Structure 1
Amino acid sequence: MHLPLHGANPHKVYQSSNIEMPEIIIDLSENVNALGVPIEIQNMWPQMVELLESYPDELADPLRTKLAQFHQLPDEHIIVSNGASESLAVLARYFRGKKACILQPSFSEYERTLLAENVQVESLIVEDISQYAFSIAKVKQAMNDAQAVYLCNPNNPTGVLIGADTIEQLARHGLKHNCTIVVDEAFMDWTDEAESVIPLIAKYDNLIVVRSMTKMYSLAGIRLGYILTQKAPNLRKHYSHWNVSNIAIKIGERCLELGEFVNHSIQMNEIWREDVKSFLMNIGCEVSESRTNYLLFKLPKKFQAHDFFQYLLKKGIVLRHTYNFIGLDGEWFRIAIKTPTNMKIFRNVFKSYVQSR
């Protein structure tokens, strides 16, 4: 069985599992905002036709300039990208032939893109999954002969936040050993941003932050992200011309003005997430200390992970498997936090599984 490497595209999960796909499914494998596309973005859509005739600005301005203002950084320290995934591919080319460490479990694209560029990859597996606890000393030791270390904060798939002070310690150590710290903050906007290391960019020239605009605003279909770093002028040459469309630029500008939508999304998500977390813990699951719009959980020992996954698929519930997350080996599941209606259906199916076993 060769399951898809990422969430979403549930039909591929059913094909790989050789299970007939129910007419109605609930996809809990992808992590876009359960509230959907903001109404302000929906209202813009009819006006987008006029943007199709012209080429976009090569640097994705005015979005780049507005992002610089938003994060209080110089324009030249920001590169707008075709989703965060484009920046990950560019960074892999930047580190071609070198050595990189990845704190695991983490987003599988780090390793995939790095290996494609002949980067030697060392996985540093955390000591506690649900708390995402790790030894700073061990990471520093691994950095001594590496040119990069990748961190996901909040972590995907656990949703756990790493303190900005911890990452600053690593950045400071990296300066002594010519090691760059890559921090993927794709889900940081689901938090109060207190642990973001964007404010440290002006202080550390070995720090690269990757951001996504597709998760909070439910914009996975248009692909929009950006990186922030003093290294931006050197990295820019690795990006293609016109890599971000006019439509994405215009939508990105509007998203920066939607603070009320972001705050409401965070508030609702926290309520819904804690409700699901309580349910899972009452069942006896081990659950991560997530601060995002997803949770990671492990079944009680009396249940078998593969059997559970298949049972839910047959009932129309698609979870994110973890076979390709280093350190999880398919024994854990990531679940996106969706509307109360959908989460109630998930709880009922889970209860029926428990009763049937």
Structure 2
Amino acid sequence: MIQQHGGNIEQLGGIIDFSANINPLGIPDGVRRAVAEAVDSIEKYPDPYCTELRMKLAGHEHISAGCIVCGNGADDLIFRIVHAFRPARALICAPTFSEYSRALSEVGCEITEHLLTEENGFGLTENILPKLDSSVDICFICTPNNPTGRLTAPDLLKKIAEKCMENETILVCDECFLDFVSGGESFSIRRFLNKNCIILKAFTKLYAMPGIRLGYAICGSSRLSERIKESGQFWSVSAIAQKAGIAALAEREYLAKTVQFLTQEYSFLARELSSAGAKVFEGAANYLLFKSRSGLGEALLSEGILIRDCQSFHGLSDGFFRTAVRTHNENIRLVSAVRRCLNG
């Protein structure tokens, strides 16, 4: 079943959804309580500036609140960034998250794709650097990349940030899945943040609250943040989402437990899928990319399991699939179903 995005399961019913990369530990209790307590606030307009949430984020991220912009999910911020700066020419990787190109197309931007190859395990290498010349107005990179799961090496992030700074190119680094990675902070572009750099982060997947849209951008300069704030709708983040975000930032133990759990389960799932006959690509975070026979997605659907068919990603073809890492019992069920579909 080919979908533009994962998580579209309403019309299917009775299945285990491996197509959406949501934290398998579920929404933290503190966030659940905050959402329930925030119900009384829906009779009032939300704070359009997300003042309290940005102050909490400033402490969490160790940066001025003036350099933080909150949005209705990271997707909202992608579109707001593009509409704020209206770039004429952009560089993105392929395969990667489709919303970058969708947003850029809305403003008539010329898009150049830097192709990530199967031969190189879909890793980003220094051959992207010559393409970052002065004609590029904006560049999107994603680490870990979606759907490949590949991390970008810190030394390469440094070189990309410096090249973009040199050429006055806006660099958007999507780190929405980096908090799932053990030692993820060492792979962040944060150490190389400059005045042309924007980091995207989200609460959606990490805290298992996709129904409450909430993301934020960390900007290397107030010039960037002010332009983004002026773009898009005025009340972009609901009162409930703001309360949920504030509560989520207090869930330190939950985050540590998440990383420990996913590190273990990722290794288990990658090993077992490889043993079942799939080609699993090196990656990180709470999902993995693998290659198998055509039609595996439909075969698994008949087993009550939905994975993401990746044909819709430019740069991937029939036979590429992305699966989320879920609970241990669910991961066992996925592997067993894959074995039946591939080996009978």
Fold-level similarity (TM above 0.5) = yes
After superposition, residues 281-292 of structure 1 pair within 5 angstroms as 281-292=274-285
Give the Cα–Cα distance (whole angstroms) in 2 for the partners of residues 255 and 181 of structure 1.
Answer: 27
Matched, 1:4 2:35: no
Matched, 1:195 2:187: yes
Q: Which amino acid aligns with 2:101?
A: E
User: Would the alpha carbon gap of residues 89 and 351 (structure 1) be closer, same or farther in structure 2, given more than 3 Å must change?
Assistant: same
Q: Give the match for residue 233 of structure 2.
A: 240
How far residue 239 of structure 1 moved from its aligned partner, in angstroms, is 2.9
User: Would the alpha carbon gap of residues 11 and 309 (structure 1) be closer, same or farther in structure 2, given more than 3 Å must change?
Assistant: same
Indicate which of 114, 128, 135 corresponds to 1:145. 135
Tell me which moved more, 281-290 or 179-188: 281-290
Indicate which of 39, 46, 52 corresponds to 2:29. 39
Indicate which of 284, 298, 307 corresponds to 1:310. 298
How far residue 190 of structure 1 moved from its aligned partner, in angstroms, is 0.6
Matched, 1:254 2:247: yes
Give the Cα–Cα distance (whole angstroms) in 2 for the partners of residues 177 and 112 of structure 1.
Answer: 24
Indicate which of 100, 110, 120 corresponds to 1:120. 110
Give the Cα–Cα distance (whole angstroms) in 1 for the partners of residues 124 and 37 of structure 2.
Answer: 49
Matched, 1:334 2:303: no
Matched, 1:295 2:300: no
What is the aligned-residue RMSD (CA, Å)? Answer: 1.7
Give the Cα–Cα distance (whole angstroms) in 1 for the partners of residues 120 and 4 of structure 2.
Answer: 22
How far residue 129 of structure 1 moved from its aligned partner, in angstroms, is 6.5
Give the Cα–Cα distance (whole angstroms) in 2 for the partners of residues 141 and 10 of structure 1.
Answer: 39
Q: Give the match for residue 280 of structure 1.
A: 273
Q: Which amino acid aligns with 2:240?
A: I
Indicate which of 110, 126, 134 corresponds to 2:124. 134
Give the Cα–Cα distance (whole angstroms) in 1 for the partners of residues 128 and 323 of structure 2.
Answer: 30
- State the TM-score, normalizing by the size of structure 2: 0.94
Indicate which of 257, 264, 273 corresponds to 1:264. 257
Matched, 1:176 2:166: yes
Give the Cα–Cα distance (whole angstroms) in 1 for the partners of residues 101 and 151 of structure 2.
Answer: 21
List 4+ stretches of structure 1 deviating above 4 A. Answer: none
User: Would the alpha carbon gap of residues 105 and 152 (structure 1) be closer, same or farther in structure 2, given more than 3 Å must change?
Assistant: same
* 8 A contact 1:71–1:198 mirrored in 2: no
- State the TM-score, normalizing by the size of structure 1: 0.90
**Stretches of structure 1 lacking an aligned partner (at least 5 in a row):** 13-20
